[in-house]
A and B are shown apart, each in its own frame.
Chain A
Amino acid sequence: MPVAQLVENILQSLTAGLLLGAIYGLMCVGLALIFGVMRVINFAQGDFMMLGMYAAYYFFVALGMNAVFGNAVGPYVAAFLAGPLLFVVGYVIHQALISRVSGTKTAQLEGEGHYAQLVLTLGIALILENGGQIVFGSILHSVQTPLSTNAWIISLWDGAVEIFVNRARGIAALLSIVIIGALAVVIARTRLGKALRAAADNPTAATYMGIDVDFAHRIAFALGISITAIAGGLLAPNYPFHPYVGLEYVIIMYAGVVLGGLGSILGAFWGGMTIGLVQQLSTLILPTQLQNSAIFVVFLLIVFFRPQGFFGRVVERT
């Protein structure tokens, strides 16, 4: 294969990986927020993302974002709107269900109630997936936007190498980065963000400071769900989805979070980015079906050899 072609393939995959990785990063950040603050393993994270995708779809189509904002901007407005909606959903679910198996009540239990959390969120996942099938049907949905068929073209070396940057994905990636940036500011600078970090670091001391740790957990959970939902909404214009799509992304999310270092919210972004790159770059050497296997293998390798992850500060939790 001529060198130019090879270089082009690699760069194209790299670009695709970066674009996809940015959205994976956002998805992982949502999960990391939940795991980092609450130490809860949420099986249903992928399914909340699925709800985000459908929410974006319905906002776009049914509620006329299409009509108001047009085909180009509409999908992204719809994706953003999925956020607050899923925030409320997450808040309610935490209050009704999750809080019973996590937080200050269960901190003294053996294994910190992990078993119960895993099983409960598995139950929620099943309800959401199958309920989703009943409500939404199993036909593939997607959000149509002309941007998905347009691309910016980066031309290198006098046109010898041309890289296509899909506009829809490019914008989605940019928006992901903006959201993560905003989240980073909130976590680092605001009183709420510091309270969440304090609750994550040392729930007992946080209570002594007057922070309601259970409420902090609820906010973290709702926020984590809504962020992952927005990521889903951003994926919606590019990737057709169905009620069971969450299952495909759960392992990606966990791989990204573990890679980034459990407990590091921003590390999860880099973890997700890495997974996106691994997935796209592996298309160069592996057949399509094995791409996903590649992710699992990477995941297992990390879990075995470097469970603390690669990115993010590793400061001992009290």
Chain B
Amino acid sequence: MPLVRSFFPILAFAAVYVAITLVITNSYYQLMMTLVLVWATFGLSWNILSGYTGLVSFGHAAFFGIGAYTTALGQMHFDLSPWLLIPIAALFGGLSGLLIGFPTFRLRSHYFALAMLAYPLAVLYVFEWLGYQEVTLPMKRENAFAFMQFTDPRAYTLIALGMMIVVVVLSRLIERSRFGMSLIAIKQNEAAAEAAGINTLAWKLRAIAVSGAIASATGAFYAVVLLVVTPVSVFGMLVSAQALTVTMFGGVGTVWGPVIGSAILIPTSEILHAQFGARFPGIQGVIFGMAIVVVILAAPEGLFWKGQEFARRHWPALFASRSKSTSGDRTDMASANMMAEPSPANRAHDEVGKVILSVRGLSHSFGGLKAVQNVSFDVSEGTILGIIGPNGAGKTTVFNLLNGFLRPDAGEILLHGRSVVGWTPHEMCNAGVGRTFQIMRPFSRLSVIDNVVIGSFVHARNEKDARRLAENAIDKVGLSSIADRVANELTTKQLRMMELARALAGRPRLLLLDETLAGLGQSEVTDVVAVLRRLAQEGITIVIIEHTMHAMVRLVDHFVVLDHGAVLVEGPPRVVTQDARVIEAYLGTKWSAYAQA
């Protein structure tokens, strides 16, 4: 099973680490071995939130400190054992995560960063005021084991190693699951993720809860190792910086990142500190600072990814795709496709001509500007509707209103007869509305199938189902032969088809396509038009905004022409393109006069 095999590296790492640990006798270095693991685990917790979602937290010290004080105060006041307190700390950490996340996720990027920065620092002063300038854990000579107090520091290393492995396993499970993919989707393009059916707020909250829980557990353990807790040492900015630094240096968004980062930076700085600390106090900080500066300028994603890129270029054989497994399944997929639950095609035959989307009196203003004025039209199932109009006519605004990104000031939107005004984009996706975006933002490092599978989570029952839906969708757009290719190697047309596949994976009944043909050459346009026509024949309703008129006139059944936010004219292509009002809107008022003269 591939999952188990992927854990070989970490187990190998663990084995080597244990070997080294047993050999070291210097107590300072033994402590260092423990700390490397502690900071690696802390980095892993940071990674779960910030590495995957891209929401950079500068305040993870808040969770770390909460955990540390849970152990310190729990032992001091209630005489509880760290074995119990560490899980309790994790619980506190998770709850704090939710408490912090809920209001803070609403903030925009730099406000989010500043707010996260402020939390631990605010709490720091509170703890100082409470009188906890220095809390020392009481020594327990009788029940040493029960209170996690060992005479041999190497015992701590082993516990830390155990903790780290658990967190690595957890991270890997998250990474490969729907959880991880949803987070990555949010990082890549939050709007597109919402439109693909991902409840972004819910996933962010889950991420911060897990991240906070792990960070607190780590902090709780740290307190046991050091036996002394001061507000600055656990809530201070340097602690938050540490999580960020080791992960960023080692590699963001991968379990190996924090491990590599910690394994390199901590020993380096500690050894430098040991050798030169007397003459150059603060050398550790300087090293960390320089590490961050160099990394952010030269390899912003971290050493792991840079290394992988390097390896890919020089030893491509190591990264041969797993195409063997999928090509064998393809024939099964094809037949399975036909026997699957009633495909949209069957439904179309029953309900041809039925109105699937009805828009009435839709209006929306931005400040004083009337972007959309009293727009009404109907879309029949299985047809292709084109929304056209000169620049600034309000076409994209209409889409955003239909999709749930904007709430109309007035008007009604009926999907299958049900009002969907005020629904969020992911709810719309759930109801069967798929959307593609003008500016594509694929997950460049993932394969086509991994990019598409994001779209299938909305209706898939489990991971396997999701994958099957994704493969179906890829098949529909004709990308099956490159399903395993990495996204940053694709051409524009292939990227557009992949976007389309992602929308299809959610099994939509209505597709909103935003400039799908932009940037394509003549023959590519013909191919895409063919795919879209086929989808319509299978019963999917398509509404498309496009400027490439010569393609649109061949593709659509019906046009709605917008000008200055209002509907100018509707009708089939032949009629609309000769309509005097449309000509006037596009070419100017004086054109008709000249043309007739």
Interface residues of A (CB under 8 A from B): 41, 97, 100-101, 110-111, 114-116, 118-120, 122-134, 137-138, 243, 247, 251, 254, 258, 287, 289-290, 292-293, 296-297, 299-300, 303-304, 307
Contacts and interface: CB of A to CB of B under 8 A. Distances in A.
B315 interface: no
Contacts of B291: 123
Interface of B: 54, 56, 58, 103, 107-111, 113-115, 117-119, 121-122, 125-126, 128-129, 237-238, 241, 244, 248, 280-286, 288-293, 296-297, 300, 441
Contact of A124 (B117, B128, B282, B289): B289
Given A116-B300, A303-B115, A123 B289 contact: yes
29 contacts: A41-B110, A41-B114, A111-B109, A114-B110, A116-B296, A116-B300, A120-B292, A120-B293, A120-B296, A122-B289, A123-B296, A124-B293, A126-B289, A127-B286, A127-B293, A130-B283, A130-B289, A131-B285, A133-B285, A134-B283, A251-B118, A258-B114, A296-B125, A300-B118, A300-B119, A303-B111, A303-B118, A304-B103, A304-B115
Contacts of B107: 303-304, 307
Complex A-B, nearest 10 residue pairs according to Cβ-Cβ distance, in ascending order: A130-B285, A126-B289, A123-B292, A130-B282, A127-B289, A296-B122, A133-B282, A289-B129, A123-B293, A293-B125
B221 to A, nearest CB: 25
Contacts of A119: 56, 244, 248, 292, 296
A178 to B, nearest CB: 30
Nearest to A254: B114
Contacts of B290: 123, 127
Contacts of B111: 258, 303, 307
A59 B308 CA distance: 50
A127 B285 contact: yes
A136 to B, nearest CB: 10
B121 A130 contact: no
Nearest to B441: A110
A66 B423 CA distance: 70
Interface centre among A126, A128, A137 (most CB of B within 10 A): A126
A134 B238 CA distance: 17
A287 B131 CA distance: 12
A124 B297 CA distance: 12
Contacts of B296: 101, 116, 119-120, 123
B113 A247 contact: no
Contacts of A243: 282
Nearest to B187: A110
Nearest to B55: A115
A190 B281 CA distance: 46
A131 B284 CA distance: 10
B556 to A, nearest CB: 32
Contacts of A125: 289
A287 B129 contact: yes
Nearest to B112: A303
A193 B286 CA distance: 36
B367 to A, nearest CB: 9
Nearest to B122: A296
A122 B115 contact: no
A305 to B, nearest CB: 10
B286 A131 contact: yes
A119 to B, nearest CB: 5
Contacts of A307: 107-108, 111
Contact of A134 (B113, B117, B281): B281
Contacts of A114: 109-110, 113
A130 B293 contact: no
Nearest to A137: B281
Contact of B237 (A101, A247, A287): A247
Contacts of B286: 126-127, 130-131, 134
A143 B171 CA distance: 52
